[in-house]
Chains A and B, each alone.
Chain A
């Protein structure tokens, strides 16, 4: 009978050890083992992006990663986006542009946008829409989300942190 595996990773800047079963997804580990419930489950099959986290600099769907694969990896989840001084400009822009309704998709969008703006600080609207094709939202119709991303991009340029 497969036992639990000891995994060491760095999550939101902190070295983290956890035990998990090989069959558990990274999403399950984050939510059920580590109580990092900000990362959401939508489809559990890679289609909706609600479970998006950053793993070694790339966004991935944590429902399509095994928890044991996080060994030695650097992870950022939605809990790692805001700083002690307050919300990240992306989060602020989502609030100001009313870019969420039920909010289930929001953590995944914000994490995906963070990875985009870290790499490409001034994306075009088309680039934003393309980057976010793997994130689904059933409520907003996307326009307000895209507006928030462009808004956050401008604000970050104006006052880099």
Chain B
């Protein structure tokens, strides 16, 4: 790795000034499981690494059934899935938090880092999107919020300026009769990059026989994680039937823009989107019935 400087700011404003000073020569460090590998491999080069783990807001994790969940951008995955109240309220998010890497990686990797890294294959992003999460972004003019589905702009690129950073993620309280599920396909059981991934969330009607609303998001089948609004909308107001689920799966497959690479072909990926959409919808419906 090339020489770097290292700073450990203690506040949001100190972090913003460090980033503003160095422009694109500074990079935030959360768990480092993407950044350090990229710096060592020469895929990124920076002068200053800004460790945000001592910024209180980036390290904060709180859940309130009324206000929802706030996840500091540097909070490692294990802290999220280890918290019983959070695990019970957001099983669809835990699907991803407990899936990223192995236990060692989960000891460091954050959902904030997963999002900022903006990999098309990032497992944390579809569940955040279907749960209607927002990014809290700090910059020289204070903070702004943005829906997660608008955040990733291209592989490895996001909507933040060089002098901004992600402070936290906000996830609304679970609605009554809401359930979510994330699944990916990999050739192994653990520790691999998604060939395709799908996150689904549904809200059921009071009698639990039909779907009030649904959201579906895809990983690894486009340059960015995709929010497929039309696939969720296809389910709104529909009774829970195989035909309704199939219509959503077809809409998701139509929205996917996969490529062929060493991990999979266009055809396989599109097929997987169909399979995983059906399965995650069923998983989300099961969870919604219990919620």
Contact = CB atoms under 8 A, between A and B. Distances in A.
Interface string A1-44: 11001000000000000000111110000000000000000001
A68 interface: yes
Q: Taking chain A's interface residues, is the majority helix, strand, or loop, or is none over half, making it mixed?
A: mixed
A132 B103 CA distance: 8
B87 interface: no
25 contacts: A22-B5, A22-B49, A23-B1, A23-B2, A23-B4, A45-B41, A47-B191, A58-B76, A58-B78, A60-B104, A60-B107, A60-B108, A61-B33, A64-B36, A65-B32, A66-B36, A68-B6, A69-B32, A112-B103, A112-B104, A132-B102, A133-B189, A133-B191, A134-B103, A134-B191
Which among B32, B51, B105, B107 has the greatest number of chain A C-beta atoms within 10 A?
B107
Given A131-B103, A133-B103, A133-B189, A64 B33 contact: yes
Nearest to A68: B6
Given A59-B104, A59-B107, A134-B103, 12 more contacts: A23-B2, A25-B1, A46-B33, A61-B108, A64-B32, A64-B36, A64-B108, A65-B32, A66-B29, A112-B103, A130-B190, A134-B105
Contacts of B6: 2, 5, 22, 66, 68
Contact of A46 (B2, B4, B37, B103): B37
A127 to B, nearest CB: 11
Interface residues of A, number: 33
B3 interface: yes
Contacts of A65: 32, 36, 108
A52 interface: yes
Interface in A89-111: none
A112 B106 CA distance: 13
Given A23-B1, A55-B107, A134 B40 contact: no
Contacts of A1: 3
Contacts of B33: 46, 61, 64
Contacts of B189: 133
B5 A2 contact: yes
B105 A61 contact: yes
Contacts of B41: 45
A1 B189 CA distance: 45
A21 B40 CA distance: 14
A64 B37 contact: yes
Nearest to B191: A133
A2 B3 contact: yes
Contacts of A47: 191
Contacts of B76: 58
Interface in A67-93: 68-69, 71
A65 B191 CA distance: 19
B101 interface: yes
A41 to B, nearest CB: 12
Contacts of B190: 130, 133-134
Interface string B98-141: 00011111011000000000000000000000000000000000
A132 B191 CA distance: 11
B39 to A, nearest CB: 8
Nearest to A28: B1
B107 A58 contact: yes
A14 B57 CA distance: 32
A61 B4 CA distance: 20
Contacts of A64: 31-33, 36-37, 104-105, 108
Interface-centre pick from B1, B2, B29 (highest chain A CB count, 10 A):
B1
